[in-house]
Structure 1
């Protein structure tokens, strides 16, 4: 591991660029990929957008399991610790996410209590958070991550001071959600008002009368015809094409409307912290609803006890697995990373997954479209070693409260 010098910016990651770029630089697709890569080279996800309770049910996660997962915002990795797995290896090609995952782990290990952790990651306007970082976390944080959080933003303030305000409003995703609120307000709609609903029928009424009509507005339809419109969600050009294939191939307004409808109407808002992030740009307060699973009081002791079982790597999934012994991993969490891959990358990944999979291993992932990305693309010699749990995948996918994916998929190792 190469330490970053304190007070400096992170270098652009050649690993991240290699994963993103599929086309010639001067082609339309190549330019689109490079624009996405430039945006994705910073902090993207202050929180993860996959439901950890769905993940844990799909994996049948339990004590003794050895996991490899993509890090992203780090929330799910921490939630998995509540089931006391033996080991978790976290990989991410984005150095900002690596620093965030390490910070969250250190916070659970070294902040004095659960309340301090919630103030750090689940509340807003807590100006003591940077002081708690200096006192409790920084002395116990690796030099690379400590240098990152002590580094300066464009406004001259240390990065860690973002936690004194509302960290969930930072990053590419936070800015994208802010832009969505601005667009809605230009049409006279206050998205946060749906969080006042007391019943599913009230949520449905607000969506049908206030939110749904936005997708018929000319400005919204014009914006959603452009691939760059979803870069703020961390959706690369390849995923946009998948989404567009579900509608008229030109605008994804209808697809976005359907996904937002699930987020707004299928789950009680008090039970869905993803809805709070999307519609209120914050987590619910103590009397308003549930916090993310990793911040729940009932999970705190287990996460704190098990935090030392996690190692965060700046590496690709395939790269990390290549260094592991055969049959040494029980659970693999790919998020939606395969949507970005070409056939060569996909087969290289599954070659390593199959080699390192222990008996009874499971792989879970999500896709922008409904179908599995493995169909017709993965070598039959690899695919034949796995069983697709189609019915269970559909059942759990329907219960994913993040609501932004078209498909959820579970594969179990045969034999």
Structure 2
């Protein structure tokens, strides 16, 4: 139970996370920045994952029988992958709050009676019956550590699971960051929630040009986006801030963030982009407004429910888990943006284990804050030469990623 203890946090209480984040001395500016980020990151960060699973699944060409290792984060993509009926999914995460969330989402699919019950629990807001559903159907089937976490109390004295009676997507570090962004925009006379009133791509473009884009010219916002700590709420650590800053001639990331928001608001129809709904309405769309994430769609429900037992969630690093696996035992690897945080040594240790455990035809996908892949020049030639970079497909799918958060999406295939 200790790895899911309610007060599990940064530093001494979470040495796995500490080892992944800290690269500089405590009293240096970089070291203080890393420790502040670590403190914020030690709680729940992502109630929803912000990588597009449709892009992932096309890149990996998932099929029945594949063995996948993925970082957990909010858990949405892991569930979407299940709809392809893989043989096994190992989910890893250094954040115990994400571990608890992934295990709960799996239990929701396994134990709630119908698809409508699943959507009500994971996608609706203001649904007080979800607490009763948890007590009746879910809690008795959870492992003791996960049950202790969700049945435990938060700082306000409410049971943690009660967040599903309100709106979990307004919580966590990212949820609070989005809330703060809305407040900042309203102080400048713009209500971001107005974006979801757009009824066409033309109206979406007009809202961005008239309302959103001018915000990034405001001195206060330019000053805020020049501070590394201002973007910790997006889950962007100091290392990623530096990568993003390399895209701009200014110290402020205003231009980079403006460009990413332009993609989010203008490149995809609102009814097809639940990421935009979360960013602007802070909820998922209702049935008449747009589509839900892939894992909540009715067409995928039976496959996910029937194969949920094929998932194991680990409180471990990617490298740590792979080190326990035999050679040639994994087909697909999903690294999210974790490599942006890594030192060269950590990067090479990771790819040593990936290369050892990769079966014939294995595929690795990951995202980067900047546009280019981070592997050239950092990964040893002995490792790099065993993988083929699919530059054309990487660029194509990066353009199709509806979350619009990242600068690059990358696909590496194991050479024969």
Asked if these proteins are the same fold (TM beyond 0.5), I'd say yes
Aligned to 2:327: 326
Aligned to 1:165: 166
Contact 1:335 1:366 (8 Å CA) reproduced: yes
What's the CA shift for 1:10? 2.8
What's the CA shift for 1:3? 6.5
What's the CA shift for 1:38? 0.1
Aligned to 1:152: 153
CA separation in 2, counterparts of 1:178 and 1:4?
Answer: 27
Give deviations 1:152-173, integer Å, cap 9, x for gaps.
1111001000000011000000
3-state SS in 2 of match to 1:403: coil
What's the CA shift for 1:384? 0.2
Contact 1:82 1:303 (8 Å CA) reproduced: yes
CA separation in 1, counterparts of 2:122 and 2:367?
Answer: 25
Aligned to 1:182: 183
- 59-68 or 195-204, which moves further after superposition? 195-204
**How do 1:44-123 residues align onto structure 2 when only pairs under 5 Å count?**
44-123=45-124
Aligned to 1:9: 7
Number of residue pairs the alignment of both structures matches? 413
- 185-194 or 331-340, which moves further after superposition? 185-194
3-state SS in 1 of match to 2:256: helix
Distance 1:214 1:3, change over 3 A: closer
What's the CA shift for 1:190? 1.1
- 97-106 or 189-198, which moves further after superposition? 189-198
**How do 1:207-246 residues align onto structure 2 when only pairs under 5 Å count?**
207-246=208-247
TM-score of the pair, normalised by structure 2: 0.98
What's the CA shift for 1:192? 1.3
Aligned to 1:365: 366
Aligned to 2:300: 299
Aligned to 1:263: 264
TM-score of the pair, normalised by structure 1: 0.98
3-state SS in 1 of match to 2:410: strand
CA separation in 2, counterparts of 1:231 and 1:403?
Answer: 17
Aligned to 1:125: 126
Aligned to 1:277: 278
What's the CA shift for 1:2? 4.8
- 193-202 or 163-172, which moves further after superposition? 193-202
Give deviations 1:244-274, integer Å, cap 9, x for gaps.
1101241000000000000000000010000
Contact 1:4 1:143 (8 Å CA) reproduced: no
3-state SS in 2 of match to 1:83: coil
3-state SS in 2 of match to 1:358: strand
CA separation in 1, counterparts of 2:259 and 2:193?
Answer: 19
Distance 1:3 1:218, change over 3 A: closer
What's the CA shift for 1:13? 1.1
Q: Which runs of 5+ in 2 are unaligned?
A: none
3-state SS in 1 of match to 2:406: coil
CA separation in 2, counterparts of 1:42 and 1:297?
Answer: 31
Contact 2:3 2:315 (8 Å CA) reproduced: no
